[in-house]
Structures are given as C-alpha cells and as structure tokens.
Amino acid sequence: MDIQLEKKKGLRPKHYGYIALGVLVLFMGWKLLFSNSMSTYRTDKERLSIAQVSEGKFDDYITINGNVAPIATIYMDAYEGGRVAEKLIEEGTMVKKGDIILKLENIGLYEQILASESNLALKQNDLRSTKLTFDSRQVEGKRSLATAEYDLQRLKRNYEQNEALYNDELISKEAYLLSKENYELSKRQYDIVKLQTEQDDELRRTSLTSLDGDLQRMRQTLSMVYERLDHLNVRAPADGQLGFLDAEIGQNIQQGERIGQVNVLTDFKIEAEIDEHYIDRVKRELQASLERNGNEYGLRLRKVYPEVRNGRFKVDLVFTGEKPETIRAGQSYNIRLQLGASSDALLLPKGGFFQSTGGQWVFVVNADESEALKRNIRIGKQNSRYFEVLDGLQPGEQVITSNYDSFGTAERIVLK
C-alpha cells in the first residue's frame, strides 16, 4: 500500500530568485516613474563648471577695486564775480598757497571803492568841522565861566562889606539890599554858565565818540571793500597740484561759481565702491592690504559714505605705513578688505550659479556623474573665492557652479 507524502509548506530556494526579480522590477518602475515626474534638462558635462565641496579655512575678506586719489581736494570758488583778465597758471601745475592763478576785473567793484573812499573823505571833513565847532564852543564856555566866576567873587566881596557897614549903620539899607541882589544874581548866572559848560562838554564827548565810531566803521567798510578788490586775484588755497581750471580769458565768472580745485599731494587715499550686500559689515578702522610688485602694503578704512547708489556704496582707505613708490592719482588697485577673522568652514567655490539662485539652492552631481539634482542649501559669508556653506551639503560632494539661467525650471540635469 502506497503512503502519500504531504508537501512541505514555505519558500523554496528557487522562490528567492523570483522575489528578487520582482523587487528589481518594482524599483526600476518606481525610478522610471519618479524620473518622468521631474522636469529634466540635458546637457554636455564639458559645458559646465563643476566644483567639489571641501573643508578648510574660510578667510573672511572681500576683494574690491579702488582708485588712487589725493588725500584732500580743495575747491576754488570765486569770492567775487568778474571778467577773467589774466590766466597765470595752467592745469596740472604745482602751486604754493597764495599763488595768484587768475586775475579778474569788476568795474562795479571799482566804482563802489571810489564811492566808499568819497564817503569816508566827507565823513572825515564833517568830523573835523564838528571838532572845530566844539573846540570853539568849549573855549567860549570856559571864558564865560571865568568871567561869571570873577563877577561872583567881586560882588560877593562888595555884599559882605556892605553888610558889615549896614550892621554898623554906616550905609543906607537901599545900598545894602542892592549889593545883596547883585551878588545873588551873579551867583545864579554863574551856576547857569557852569551847567551850560558841563552840558557842552558832555555833548562834545558823546558827539565826537559817535563820529569817531562812524568814521571807524567807514574805514572798516572801506578795508573790506579793499579785501574784495584783492579777491579779484584768485589764489591757490593750499600747496598742491592745480587739478582743473574752468576759466578762460574774457570769460565772465559769477560770484560763488566753482572755477577749479587744488589736489593736496602730501599723501594719498584710495576710493573704492562696495556692493551693498556688505553694508552692515563694513565699518571704519577695518584693515586691508594691496599687493604691488611683490610687496604688500597695509591700509585702513577711514571713511564709509552713507549713500547707496546703483546698489553700491563708497569708502575711503588710507595707507598705514609705506606706499608704493610709483603711486599716482588715478591708478587702480585690487584691495583685499578683511571683514573678520579666519575660521574652519565647509567651502563651496564661487560661481555664476549665485546670480541665478541667490545661494538658496544648487544642483548636486551624483556619484557616477550621470545627473545632478536640485537641492536646497544655506550659505553664510563669502569672499572672492568661496562661499561658506552652513547647511545642505557634505564634504566631497560635487556641485554645478556655472550659471543656471539656461536650465529654466528644471529640477534634474542629465549629464552626457
């Protein structure tokens, strides 16, 4: 009698192959489905710039371009208007403070000087006449006072004598009273003459003081007019080089008009413009350097201008030590401006991608360099060579750093 054997349940070795094949089919289907759902751009790898993310020292600096300028520029404005009569110094000439550069003519100013001189002469004549009048009155007053005093003393003596005689009943009462009245009248007249003399002296003093003050003011006014006349000679305000001169013989110059400038060449500064991205980090006293003919020269940021124009702001830097021997105004230098201390960081080489993404995302190349996928990242500081990567990338990963504008809205780049 045959015994029927039961079949064993469970997976047999041949079943594992079927399972693996099924998983592979599912994975390939999922990958194909996922790939088809992403926007894709195809390009040759040789047309792209690809850089590797690395760890290293991040030097917190920026490179800026600056132009050499004189340490100071003094503008020349016309104190007085007039016609250019003579041009003594040409542009580019070295000048000393006080050198006459232009001579102007101003007929109206000449007439004003003549009128002021005439008024001063009239005032001086009036003062002399007034002094003579007061001197004459003063002499006459002193004479009248002396006469009144003499009469008073004489009549007082007569009164006192008559009073004694009257008391002894040697003269009549009428004679006594007459001498008394004459004495009292003389005394009142003396007081009046004395008061008038004192008032005349006070009037003379105040009047002459006022006239002297008027005369002094007129002299000062005339002196100021003479200074205006001297201002028709346009002089160099400082030692230096005459930078430009906007004046020709026969040209009419208006008062206050800018006609030139003198560049002070005792020292130099460097004027540079910086992208407004760094405006919060650029402060006075930051250190900088430039390289010239194999030598490095130290600089200090002296001034930050507050205005931002066309996305850039202006700064001035000065040398902290030696300067290049061949330095000249107008020369251009590349300057390394140190914003902070060096630190360990994850570094991504700079490239044109930043203009397309603002540093918010990049295309990361896969291990076999067949494709690159879009990935969000976070960037911190930057210098002329690297971005500081704060998040989103790992050391050794490769990133497309060339410009992304041609990729459109693609999220996947197929590399051929």
Query: Can you spell out the DSSP letters for 31-45?
Result: HHHHHHHS-EEEE-G
Q: What is d(CA 102, CA 104) in angstroms, rounded to the nearest whole number?
A: 6
Query: Could you read off the pLDDT of 268-286 as tens digits, one per residue?
Result: 899 999 988 888 889 999 9
* pLDDT value of residue 28: 64
Q: Is residue 79 part of a domain?
A: no
Task: Outline where DSSP puts E strands in 181-322.
Answer: 233-235, 240-245, 252-253, 258-275, 287-292, 295-309, 312-319
Assess if residue 78 is contained within a domain: no
Is 387's pLDDT higher than 60? yes
Which residues make beta-bridge pairs with 5? none
- What would the two tokens of residue 310 be? 């066309």
Residues 6+ apart with CB under 8 A from 312: 273, 274, 275, 276
Last-in-domain residue among 283, 318, 338 = 338
> What are the CA-CA distances from residue 293 to residues 268, 323, 333 (Å)?
19, 12, 12
Tell which of 282, 304, 338 closes a domain: 338
Contact 375, 394 (CB under 8 A): no
What is the distance between the alpha carbons of residues 284 and 287, in angstroms, rounded to a whole number? 9
CATH number at residue 393: 2.40.420.20
Element (H, E) at 340: none
Is beta strand 40-43 parallel, antiparallel or unpaired with respect to 412-415? Answer: parallel
CA 372 to chain centre: 52
- Confirm whether 42 is domain-assigned: yes
Q: Report the mean per-residue pLDDT for the chain.
A: 85
Residue 17 to residue 216: CA distance in whole angstroms: 123
**349 and 401 Cβ atoms separated by less than 8 Å:** yes
Work out the pLDDT band at 1, boundaries 50, 70, 90.
Answer: very low
CA gap 245, 102 in Å, rounded: 10
Q: State the angle between helix axes of 173-230 and 107-167 in degrees (0 to 180), rounded to the nearest 10.
A: 170
pTM: 0.51
Do residue 306 and residue 356 come from a single domain?
no
Of the listed ranges 125-129, 333-337, 342-346, the least confidently predicted one is 125-129
Structure tokens at 87: 């041009």
Q: Encode pLDDT of 73-119 as tens digits.
A: 889 898 888 899 999 998 888 899 999 999 999 888 888 878 877 88
Distance in angstroms between the alpha carbons of the first and the last residue of the chain: 72
- In-domain check, residue 302: yes
**Strand ordering across the sheet containing 371-376:** 40-43, 412-415, 371-376, 361-365, 398-400, 50-52
Are 330 and 399 in the same domain?
A: no
7: pLDDT strictly greater than 70: no
In a domain, 68, yes or no: no
| Domain assignment present for 221 | yes
**Are residues 314 and 368 part of one domain?**
no
Instruction: Please state the φ and ψ torsions of residue 301, each to the nearest 5 degrees.
Output: -75, 110
Half-sphere exposure of 309 (CA within 13 A, CB side): 5
**Are residues 308 and 361 both part of a single domain?**
no
Identify whether the C-beta of residue 338 lies closer than 8 Å to the C-beta of residue 60.
Answer: yes
Residues 15-44, mean pLDDT to the nearest whole number: 66
Give the structural domain span for 315. 266-338
